[in-house]
């Protein structure tokens, strides 16, 4: 029997508190823990995914990973076999929000389409009277209109237009933190790193509890090996993170689990580079705990180095094996093979010493 072909996945995003669908909310198709496809819902929450048109998530031997947006593939208009959706689910993803997931295998296609129904999205932390970021809701109508035009242009890949509208928004309302952040993202995508840094800094100056620009600045500082700055920025993020906070009230935090993982990773890496091994281990293990979808393979390589320095060779070998499961192509990497052989020798030697005692 020929497996039925599925061409589209459709559905609707519904915000639990009946607020508008956020501009930067994405709907994701996740298969075997990898994000294979992302689309933006309409302002009313409707979305449609044409199957067989996006490239797979790319993970190379260096541990870099991320969803790769693809162009429509005119050579595969017939969708994909239904059996290929057996380990797939659909969810919404956005900073400060969490959603239910819908498993696709149990749904029956109709005319080549699967309707997943409603995907309900809730704010990650609910605090009475709080908002995702206070400053956007204080923005005057003209600034808000410019921001919305900037988001629309950015979604279409029109970077020059997006920058113009975001610049207009922050000119009208200089404390528009999220507009500064989006302007920084546009500059960053255009490789204008200094302009991006200035925009991110303006965002942090406008609203110290709006966390995404701190994460962007931490990433920049990491690339520059400015470890004290990475530590300062990641510490600020984690002080407000819902998994780590002790007395933060009156505010909704802005990081989804993937970004929280990234913040803990930067924190662990900074501690490690500053030779603060115990603190590095603590942050790295927290990162591993929240990295539920294993979208951060390089975290396990960091734990390999941490455990090796602490003579925890079984732990280091386990983390290296986890990394190889996430990045199978790395098995052919000479440095990885050398690392595995070295750890096995160290582990055997340590076990031999225990036997002789």
At 293 the pLDDT is: 55
Q: Which of 115-119, 185-189, 279-283, 294-298 has the lowest mean pLDDT?
A: 294-298
The answer on pLDDT for 169 being more than 80 is yes
Task: For residue 170, give the nearest of 212, 208, 193, 199 by alpha carbon.
Answer: 199
59's CB contacts (< 8 A; 6+ apart) are 65, 297, 326, 327, 329
How many whole angstroms separate alpha carbon 122 and alpha carbon 260? 17
At 62 the pLDDT is: 29
The answer on pLDDT for 335 being more than 80 is yes
At 355 the pLDDT is: 62
Six token digits for residue 110: 């109709």
DSSP state of 307: H
At 155 the pLDDT is: 83
The answer on pLDDT for 134 being more than 50 is no
The answer on pLDDT for 184 being more than 80 is yes
Domains of the chain: 8-123 (2.60.40.1120), 297-356 (no CATH)
**Contact yes or no for 96/123 (Cβ under 8 A):** yes
The pLDDT of 12-23, averaged and rounded, is 80
221 band by pLDDT with thresholds 50, 70 and 90: very high
At 21 the pLDDT is: 79
357 band by pLDDT with thresholds 50, 70 and 90: low
Task: For residue 29, give the nearest of 55, 4, 6, 49 by alpha carbon.
Answer: 49
113 band by pLDDT with thresholds 50, 70 and 90: confident
Question: 21 to each of 44, 147, 259, how far by Cα in Å?
Answer: 7, 15, 20
At 225 the pLDDT is: 95
At 81 the pLDDT is: 82
Task: Give residue 108's Cα distance to chain centre.
Answer: 31
Global pTM value: 0.63
At 57 the pLDDT is: 29
74 band by pLDDT with thresholds 50, 70 and 90: very low
Task: For residue 267, give the nearest of 294, 288, 252 by alpha carbon.
Answer: 288
At 75 the pLDDT is: 39
The answer on pLDDT for 188 being more than 50 is yes
At 351 the pLDDT is: 80
At 95 the pLDDT is: 65
At 261 the pLDDT is: 82
How many whole angstroms separate alpha carbon 154 and alpha carbon 215? 20
Task: For residue 49, give the nearest of 90, 3, 21 by alpha carbon.
Answer: 90
At 101 the pLDDT is: 86
204 band by pLDDT with thresholds 50, 70 and 90: very high
Q: Please write down the long-range contacts of 339-348, taking CB distance under 8 Å and 24 or more positions apart.
A: 339/304, 343/304, 343/308, 343/313, 343/316, 343/317, 344/317, 346/308, 346/313, 347/313, 347/314, 347/317
Task: For residue 35, give the nearest of 294, 261, 315 by alpha carbon.
Answer: 294
pLDDT one-digit tens code per residue, 253-309: 444 555 678 899 999 999 999 999 999 999 999 888 877 556 678 899 999 999 999
pLDDT one-digit tens code per residue, 235-253: 998 887 554 443 333 333 4
The pLDDT of 24-45, averaged and rounded, is 80
């Amino acid at each position: 029997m020929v497996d039925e072909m599925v061409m589209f996945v459709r559905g609707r995003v519904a915000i639990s508190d009946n607020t508008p669908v956020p501009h930067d909310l994405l709907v994701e198709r996740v298969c075997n823990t990898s994000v294979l496809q992302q689309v933006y819902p309409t302002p009313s929450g409707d979305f449609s995914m044409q199957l067989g048109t996006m490239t797979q998530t790319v993970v190379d031997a260096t541990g870099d990973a991320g969803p790769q947006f693809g162009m429509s593939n005119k050579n595969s208009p017939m969708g994909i076999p239904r059996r290929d959706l057996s380990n797939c689910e659909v969810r919404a993803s956005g900073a400060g929000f969490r959603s239910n997931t819908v498993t696709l295998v149990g749904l029956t296609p109709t005319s080549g389409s699967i309707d997943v129904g409603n995907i309900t999205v809730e704010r990650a932390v609910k605090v009475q009277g709080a908002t995702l970021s206070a400053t956007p809701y204080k923005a005057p109508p003209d600034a808000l209109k410019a921001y919305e035009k900037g988001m629309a242009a950015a979604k279409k890949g029109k970077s020059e237009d997006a920058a113009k509208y975001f610049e207009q928004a922050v000119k009208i309302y200089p404390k528009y933190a999220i507009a500064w952040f989006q302007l920084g993202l546009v500059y960053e995508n255009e490789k204008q790193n200094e302009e991006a840094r200035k925009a991110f800094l303006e965002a942090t100056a406008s609203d110290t509890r709006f966390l995404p620009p701190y994460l962007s600045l931490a990433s920049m500082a990491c690339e520059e090996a400015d470890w004290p700055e990475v530590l300062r920025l990641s510490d600020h993020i984690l002080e407000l993170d819902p998994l780590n906070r002790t007395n933060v009230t009156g505010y909704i935090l802005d990081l989804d689990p993937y970004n929280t993982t990234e913040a803990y990773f930067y924190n662990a890496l900074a501690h490690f580079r500053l030779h603060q091994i115990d603190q590095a281990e603590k942050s790295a293990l927290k990162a591993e705990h929240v990295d539920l979808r294993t979208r951060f393979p390089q975290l396990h390589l960091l734990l390999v180095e941490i455990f090796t320095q602490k003579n925890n060779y079984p732990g280091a070998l386990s983390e290296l094996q986890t990394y190889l499961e996430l990045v199978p192509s790395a098995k052919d990497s000479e440095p990885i093979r050398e690392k595995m052989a070295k750890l096995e020798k160290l582990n055997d030697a340590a076990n031999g010493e225990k036997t002789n005692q």
